[in-house]
Structure 1
């Protein structure tokens, strides 16, 4: 195996990224900009040098690294360990470091290099050597568990220290420092010499050296450690002159001690999950059951939010107490509550209003829809929500509130789509035997996203959400998941309607004062039964119970015994049982015997004549006075306004407390108005770090053309934008654009007749125009490239 070569991290690359960009064809440059759209923000780069600077930006590199599969990270780490920042690395050296093997491994290495160059994380020079972006190399403090290179470590040593190391090796020391360095470099990079030297070492030194060869040690090493002095004297371990600092083994020595058969891990392709039988009928049945169960629980949670909106904590989100209340009211677990709340907000069914999260007008429309439409709305929200809704703990193990307004995580949406893709690639009729196996596939495709997830094994929460929603069933993609992956709204609604039962319009009302609805009740049926009965259970069959309190609730809402009985008879499809009819009649007979009046305040006086005078006073008519007894009036106007009106009319009322005592009025200073709360911006709002979308094709074409022109490569752009021109015409026109020289252009005039004009100071205006100074007309003139028939250099 070839010896490793390391360089200083600060060394400038021998073949910079800008030079590589200068040789890219237009198509590859266009693909690179599409893969790294953040480099076009907030405006397009002016030239390839500026593009290279943006491509090497730390944040931009991090975004690109989050999109590459595991094999790219492993190849990038091998490049970093090989010193691909300051010097190029041949493919053969990478193959020697990685467990490439033949066939699939070799193809995986080539694919990884292609993918890295597609994101400009690594690039190749004309000799075939590969270079790595410095920000990528910083991902690993010690790539492959190897430390600093021998040359860098020895460069810190004095000539006397080098002389002592050479003598300890049994070699006559040369007379100059450089020759001593060369002697040590030659010895410590020779596998046979290093292995023989370590084999002859004392047992304590040999064990210490083998331990350091496996990984870089960061803990301080005391000078009294057994075996350390022998290794330090011979330069097999090196450390700074002062302090209890770690002893470092040169990368070349560590690689030799790992043995000739050692290779870095390399996963050329995703792991193959163990498969089990998953017939299409069984998948559809399980997906339908899961989707129906969650839709029912979500409807209960959202209905409770519509009735009693959950309160928002001062620090943000919905706390554990509110989650517990919602779970008890809806009869479901906290996981379902969290998922329903997050998807409800993402779908626009819930919104934040000051310190609450009430239902919106869209919720009413959603509730009126059929089960398939409602399920499709929640599934679309799950596909795009930039968070893991059912995640309950943060990295420190603290409980996370629901509906917390956090920056979106693009890695979550990418991982979700990766999961759907991985499940779709399984053979027909087969599914993953274990959910963790699919999680391992997602982790291979998005390894850095797995590092941000606190799940063990990776993506357990994501897999559980997919199964709970019916997206996955029997370890494979369900019809709902397939429609989500295809991003087809119509197909998703149709798949949900096929799987979920149609809404029921009938209820079976029994003599035990219950109403049973099989399947999902329609919005009208549910609204009617909720008005006059108490819901006891949900699921495949929903049960309501009639009680005197529930019937009274319907009467309070404006119903009558006749209207309630008529509505229930229509839902039952026949006469109501006698116990229910008696219950309705008996409750209606007692309803309204006591009446409660809403009043702003009460006015009373010992003399009925005074109250009679007040009630007929013309200026007091707006108070809405009503006499309940000879000495008692009620006013629909609140007490402060009533007092002011009476005093304006010439009376002298006083304020009385509930216990009958007269209250003394004092003038209070007005309180300062509360300052409006600074709300965290939501996804899509200004100030929110939303992910950058894919640029429009027209903009890509325009930017690529500008970069080619800036790099004096107009000919390449013209070959694509003006295919009607001959190669000679393209060459002459490109020379005129790049150098500003005069060109004779041939083009048809407005009548279609051929015409020639002399132009200079030509400038391309992508995607398909050009303008410059026309000497024939003595003015600026623009052309459409598709109308130019020929171009020649002017004499």
Structure 2
């Protein structure tokens, strides 16, 4: 037995230059984890993995996906004049799709993802998991080779005779004759034209799509088509008949083309001046930032309960919406972004705010908005889409599996908006949805919204990422991936926090814009918030002022704190309200007493109060016949009995409580919560070096230099390796010391190499002798100047 032939994908990867291989590694980063592949064969296996192929297919454009479907369809029906092998000539794909430039762009995209690639003859191969994506690509069934190859020699002889073809002595020649006949579209169309009317109707229906419905043998016109191989009944099955793919294409006519969207749709546009876009984005972002803060505050006051099946139910969502004075979509979006940002977390059977929320609330509005935007950018779902495929209400903060198609659709949406002309926006949401559908068709297939991507577009508008049908500065900063740019854009759109309030004689406080954290805490402490938005309104009531006094403030401190945040004297009705509440505050006093001891004999209570052995009870007298203590009732009873007294326990209604021995019970174990698994920190793979190393399977010098010359770029390593292999002149910059800061950088023109890692021996023109260069100290490579003559 000879050696196992390499995987076709590995063979193609081996023919790629390092820069093209680097493009593949960049497009398929999941193939580099958990460890870098050591050889091209291992890389090919990872790239052909079903899950990896599915992830790559989810990022394809509609043009590339349609081209891949065409390749998958043609791969099952080779033509007689095709070159040997399993590949599909590019000319056949072009003839089926009809747009040369579009096909070239689609095939380049598929090659970048290593899903479709050319073999050595130039024919196209498709990775098997992608080929299996379509049960009937282009509505075509199996090809003639597969269907007719299952026929016996006698069956093929009958078919050849019926078609009027020359008889052949072997099965292979009979099969070749049938394939040649049915591979001629004109001959198949002419044959079908002679069929009886009921047969032509049957052929027309079978040529449109593949059906699994059984066809009874008594169906009129069926026998005529079966006898001539225009329809084939499988040797095993339920009675369904299949039309060979070549026959179906022939009957569709020479002018038929497969669906192919060579370019994204051109959406109808409307004016969208940058100033108007920024203004609308600022209004939306400011509103949502305030609503999100209110949602988190409501969760801090009353954490929403978790449903048994996971998530937060619609009742809790409605409760939070009422408390935060916003709609349910805003609540759902705030909850999901808050959880993704670490501001909310599951705590047993509820969702509570975390310590990160306190720090977040102290930040300026721009920083707070940036945190929520980054969280939205990574959400694996569309939280404002509150219905599932069956129309049932979905819980907020769901705990289902993440959906990568949501991430792809979100990036495609902002990418599509970024491609619109400056100063122009999409006229309506459907236009942007059509662009997303072209750039991420797999996400469109999984989307459950009607119209498509309605939830995604709604969220982008709520957050101020899209406005007037165009990408906003917030959206552009979000796409850039720069945290500093995002915070800067958010701060530029949102006004600085307001630190002053305006107090009215109607006992209200009005804050225009976003209140500063300290001002908001103060007003929330002494007043009731009535509204949020561009202006927030609080109302002072006797109950709200009493709440502040209960918290330890005095009337003077309340007036001083409010006076410090306004430029005018406090209105007289407000000061009267504060002072009146302070006069009434504390006239009744309620003490917390774990136990109360009372008796008709005041002398006995005095004896108990001053008993040294009972000092630990912390007793004090409230009345001549009443003592209170700081220890629980059970401990007080035990201490009194230990010192010779005979107390009885009294119930709340004044009756003597009968004491019976308690039966021990096992303590309920707290609910166990699964801790999220945190992957170990791993450095990002250096795709440039990896591409060089993998491409260096046939070049020892390239392999060594890719590993040792860490200061050189990808192109510089390739230049140096080519010079070493060919022995030609090259100029290098070399650092004379191991310490780059201490050494000098000197240029040498070298040739006639000998590579002995970690050293590179070469003839140096400047010194006129052979020199030893440490590869790691070579910091630059460039083409040499003209050869000097001495």
TM-score bin (small chain): 0.7 to 0.9
Question: Structure 1 residues 616, 314: closer, same or farther in 2, change over 3 A?
Answer: farther
User: 2:775 matched to 1:784?
Assistant: yes
**Retained in 1: the 8 A contact 2:21–2:695?**
no
Moved more, 331-340 or 373-382: 373-382
SS of the aligned residue for 1:696 comes to coil
Tell me how far 1:555 sits from its aligned partner.
1.6
Moved more, 156-165 or 593-602: 156-165
Question: Structure 1 residues 13, 465: closer, same or farther in 2, change over 3 A?
Answer: farther
Moved more, 180-189 or 288-297: 180-189
Question: Structure 1 residues 491, 55: closer, same or farther in 2, change over 3 A?
Answer: closer
C-alpha distance in 2 between matches for 1:13 and 1:249: 35
**Retained in 2: the 8 A contact 1:34–1:695?**
no
Quote the residue 1:68 is aligned against: 60
Root-mean-square deviation (Å)? 3.3
Tell me how far 1:252 sits from its aligned partner.
0.5
Quote the residue 1:92 is aligned against: 91
Quote the residue 1:35 is aligned against: 27
C-alpha distance in 1 between matches for 2:61 and 2:150: 38
Quote the residue 1:674 is aligned against: 669
Tell me how far 1:322 sits from its aligned partner.
1.2
C-alpha distance in 2 between matches for 1:545 and 1:222: 80
Quote the residue 1:599 is aligned against: 593
Tell me how far 1:359 sits from its aligned partner.
2.3
C-alpha distance in 2 between matches for 1:14 and 1:511: 86
Question: Structure 1 residues 148, 545: closer, same or farther in 2, change over 3 A?
Answer: same
Tell me how far 1:162 sits from its aligned partner.
2.9
Question: Structure 1 residues 227, 639: closer, same or farther in 2, change over 3 A?
Answer: farther
C-alpha distance in 1 between matches for 2:313 and 2:757: 59
Quote the residue 1:707 is aligned against: 694
Question: Structure 1 residues 301, 228: closer, same or farther in 2, change over 3 A?
Answer: same
Question: Structure 1 residues 70, 725: closer, same or farther in 2, change over 3 A?
Answer: closer
Question: Structure 1 residues 94, 764: closer, same or farther in 2, change over 3 A?
Answer: farther
Quote the residue 2:155 is aligned against: 161
Residues 85-110 of structure 1: per-residue CA shift (max 9 Å, x gap): 9611111111011131xxxxx22211
C-alpha distance in 2 between matches for 1:127 and 1:444: 32
Pick from 548, 556, 565: which aligns with 2:550? 556
User: 2:211 matched to 1:220?
Assistant: no
Moved more, 300-309 or 347-356: 347-356
Unaligned runs of 5+ in 1: 1-11, 101-105, 734-746, 771-780, 790-795
C-alpha distance in 2 between matches for 1:788 and 1:501: 48
Question: Structure 1 residues 576, 260: closer, same or farther in 2, change over 3 A?
Answer: same
**Retained in 2: the 8 A contact 1:715–1:731?**
no
**Retained in 1: the 8 A contact 2:88–2:123?**
yes
Tell me how far 1:172 sits from its aligned partner.
6.6
Tell me how far 1:693 sits from its aligned partner.
9.6
C-alpha distance in 2 between matches for 1:75 and 1:694: 36
Question: Structure 1 residues 769, 530: closer, same or farther in 2, change over 3 A?
Answer: farther
The 5 A counterparts of 1:626-637 are: 626-637=620-631
Quote the residue 1:736 is aligned against: none
- The alignment of Structure 1 onto Structure 2 pairs a total of residues equal to 733
Tell me how far 1:140 sits from its aligned partner.
0.7
C-alpha distance in 2 between matches for 1:125 and 1:159: 33
Question: Structure 1 residues 269, 724: closer, same or farther in 2, change over 3 A?
Answer: closer
Residues 311-369 of structure 1: per-residue CA shift (max 9 Å, x gap): 22333222222111101111111100011111122223223333332223332333233
C-alpha distance in 2 between matches for 1:331 and 1:19: 62
Tell me how far 1:724 sits from its aligned partner.
8.9
C-alpha distance in 2 between matches for 1:785 and 1:532: 68
User: 2:658 matched to 1:663?
Assistant: yes
**Retained in 1: the 8 A contact 2:704–2:757?**
no
Tell me how far 1:507 sits from its aligned partner.
2.5
**Retained in 2: the 8 A contact 1:37–1:693?**
no
- TM-score between the two structures when normalised by the length of structure 1: 0.85
Tell me how far 1:143 sits from its aligned partner.
1.0
**Retained in 1: the 8 A contact 2:736–2:777?**
no
Question: Structure 1 residues 609, 592: closer, same or farther in 2, change over 3 A?
Answer: same
C-alpha distance in 2 between matches for 1:449 and 1:608: 83
**Retained in 2: the 8 A contact 1:199–1:206?**
yes
The 5 A counterparts of 1:382-781 are: 382-659=376-653, 660-674=655-669, 676-679=671-674, 681=676, 685-686=677-678, 695-697=684-686, 700-708=687-695, 711-717=697-703, 721=709, 729-730=724-725
SS of the aligned residue for 1:76 comes to helix
Tell me how far 1:531 sits from its aligned partner.
1.6
Quote the residue 2:311 is aligned against: 317
Question: Structure 1 residues 764, 20: closer, same or farther in 2, change over 3 A?
Answer: farther
Tell me how far 1:403 sits from its aligned partner.
1.9
C-alpha distance in 1 between matches for 2:665 and 2:725: 80
C-alpha distance in 2 between matches for 1:27 and 1:200: 57
**Retained in 2: the 8 A contact 1:386–1:409?**
yes
